[in-house]
Amino acid sequence: MSPYRGPGAYWESVDCVSDLAPVDYETHFPMRPIPVAFHIWFLEVHTYGIGLALTFWFGLRYTERRVRNAGYPWQWVTGMFLWVIVAAIVGARALHVVSNLSFYSHHPAQVFAIWQGGLSSFGGLLFAVPVAIVSSRRRCPQLPSMRFADLMAPVLMACWGIGRLLGPQLMVAGGGHPTNQWFGMYYAGQVGKRLPVPIFQSIEDFTIFGILLLVERWLRSIAPVPAAVAAAPVEAVGEPVEAAGGAAPATTPPARVLPPAGIVIGVGMVLWGIERFFDEHLWLGEDGHLGSLLVQGAGILLAVAGTLLLISRIGPLRRWRRGEGGEGGAGGAGGDGRTDLTSDTAHADEDGNGAPGVRGGAASAGDPDAPAPVGSGVATQGTPDEG
């Protein structure tokens, strides 16, 4: 028999944390868990699926915005996202089934019942990340993979924050360990009050999302001014640029050189790996359960990998702050050969090829085809800047 009860099921007269006799207030005031499904005429709609759909839609739009603000073509993102969604769902379900193979081997029909929940975050990453990297390289070859990872790190954390509230919080058996605390909640498929782990995880994910944005802001604030800008007369830096259509001129700030790629994603890997380890260890895991051990081990490995990545960025970061370029050091702009043209930064060749350009002014040497951010006043892709 499946461990899940039917949609909307609830239990009255059940003690919260033990097999003791039911307590009076629970007998007289039964508590319903959050509904996991509702009907529109003959069609049964699962709230879990609606939550996932909304999360994927937000992730698509936010990714398009960050890629566009970075100065790259963004029309390819939708095509990539369709493959990423499929890969994420397949991978997340596959790892969940493998982690609970003893149950699914006796109930094979439940393998495809994803509307009841049962998606592994690490399984989704394991399948979706390679698909996203390959697709982005094919559809937007001028966007380096590590820079793309930096762009995607805040997107992933925001999606996980939203997804926890609209996914596990609304699915069968979405709660954590039993509890008698005042903040405990009732979940379909679980007896008694449970720790609202999806809410805890959402708060953690949004906190990491905020930290990543602060890291991006810090990197922009310490960025060295490119030599082309530093050597220009004072009045030439930030001088008004006449807008199209006779609009009032706007003053553009000095250009900033991009930092070495990998810092933002490295911070995200460390923080999220630590989060997933402690979430599983404290609130979700079962002693000796294969799935729980896999999640905790994956969390540790992710945090270690993020730490090693950040260590590898220390040298390039120091050279970048001294104005000596990023990785490669061949006169590159922070390892990208481009300057920060927008608030979300602009990116190009990760190997340090090309000299930095000037926002609203000189072109990047050797890279006249570098994409320009929307509305930046810089020449469009394929048209050299003429200062």
Torsion of CA 47, 49, 53, 56, to 10 degrees: 120
What token pair was written down for 299? 């969390």
Question: What pLDDT is attached to residue 33?
Answer: 60
- Angle (nearest 5°) at CA 202 between 26 and 119: 85
Q: What is the pLDDT of residue 73?
A: 92
Q: Read off the tokens for 220.
A: 């922009």
The pLDDT tens digits of the residues spanning 272-330 come to 999 999 998 888 877 667 778 888 999 999 999 999 999 999 999 999 998 876 443 33
Determine how many CB atoms are found less than 10 A away from the CB of residue 320.
Answer: 27
Q: Please report the pLDDT score of residue 130 as a whole number.
A: 93
Residues of the chain with pLDDT under 50: 1-30, 232-239, 241, 243-244, 250-252, 326-387
What pLDDT digit, counting tens, does each position of 350-361 carry?
433 333 333 333
| pLDDT score at 287 | 61
Sequence spans of domains, the chain: 24-221+260-321
pLDDT at 381: 41
CB-CB neighbours of 112 under 10 Å: 9
